[in-house]
Structure 1
Amino acid sequence: MTYELFALRYARRDAKRQEHFIGGDPHDALMPMDYFVWAAVGGGKAWIIDTGFTAEVAARRKREYLRCPVEGLRLLGIDPDAIENVIISHMHYDHVGSFHKFKRARFHLQEEEMRYATGRYMCHHKLRHSFEFEDVAGIVRMTFADRVVFHDGDAGLAPGIKVHACGGHSMGLQCVTVETARGLVVLASDVTHFYENLEAKRPFTTAFHVGNMLEGFDKLKRLAPSPKHIVPGHDPLVMQRYPAVPGLEGIAVRLDVEPTA
């Protein structure tokens, strides 16, 4: 089974190169960051990958909030109230924060990520900074409501959709592969934030385990038919390299067709 695959940009922030590479960067140039959610549509259903953050969190963390991720999905004709399955790549604030806006969905998560977000490492401010307490507590509530599906490593979720454990940036981070008309597309999420992290093998600054992050780069390359089938989690170049959905320029692009650049 193949899917139409979309990236929806919902927020952004200005940043500099030194913020995106462990060890910094000799250049003081700007390197903005985009925030995305993704949707795979096929067989009359949509799978959502990550849910973004809320306007309140954007204001507190000083992010430029372009639109609610749920409203972005509606622009694509996707009804969030009808969504049955949401894949959470990891529980950092910018990937899980609007989970409560999906009224029926089950949330697919690596069990190790829940262990991380509720365990001993959250005693360290440096590691818990990327989590929002209410998000973590909310996913625990979803677990007690039988709405979380835990995975232990790589797993097939549906024909043409798989998750792949790639801990490093977060202990239980997972990427997602989706079968499309152009072949298997790897939604890296934060296994690689930018194309350059992967291409230069320079890990991002937020890291639980640097060695696992480097091995995650290798896993992305093994999974993908070619480098152009890997889509990073935060790179503004995604919006430039892929064709816009007609009428949604600057908001949504098609990842199931060949990149234009």
Structure 2
Amino acid sequence: MSKKSFDECYFTSIHDIEVLDDIVTYVERNYGKLGKYENSIFCPECRHAELSYVHQTSRTRAFLRRKFRTVHLPGCSYNYEYSSPKFSKEYYELLTDDQIQDKMASMMRSLLRDSLDNGENVIQASNTVEVDNPLILEKEQNGQQIRKSLRRKKLSTWLDEEIAGELHLFYGEVKLKVRRIEKTNEAGESYFYYFLDIFCENKNREWKRKTQIYRGAMEDSIDENQIYYFVAVGNIDFSNSFPRLELSNKQSILFKAIQ
């Protein structure tokens, strides 16, 4: 099974999710010591598997990983191999557009707080009982049910070529902006296509453009002053001048205004 790393964790001292960037900042200010996080950080999904902190080196970023001899609960998606773009494409081809949007809505409820779930962001399962987890993609292959999990990446964290070509579930609280481009065809007729620009808040509480999605002829209805919950499945293409989020399926995106 592929080694799993984590951008965030469940921190027992606050009974809430803590992002890796905040832990890295704390460790740097604490002379390399884990301090309050020692033996207090767990899988952000099942909250059962204990995590360890791996310090940054000259070649790798700091990251979190599961401690040896500790396990995830059976319903946790971190038990499964990561989905490839091919597997994801085949999975979505089996679903209707409405089913895909239902799946995206379940992913959003699982990862992002809103008034509907009161912040309950945990897989409820015993050590023997499987649960229906929206972060797991499942399809039949040669008479067997094959399950894969989605890498996940919070959009407010780093995005660079290290993740190029890898399929992720991208999520977070964002601001959005529709950008319209006008072109002229060979007959001299004008037409438009659209990009959806995605902005994330940095540590200075400034909203900075993080990535963009090509939307073709679709013009999304956006309030640029509104903050949205956002989820999308795809991969980041770094071959252009600015990182572009390529969707796994045209329906594998969902955003919802935060009330």
TM-score scaled by length of structure 2: 0.26
Bigger relative contact order, structure 1 or 2 (CA pairs below 8 A, ≥6 apart): 1
Q: Which has the larger radius of gyration?
A: 2
Name whichever structure is richer in helix by fraction.
1
TM-score scaled by length of structure 1: 0.26
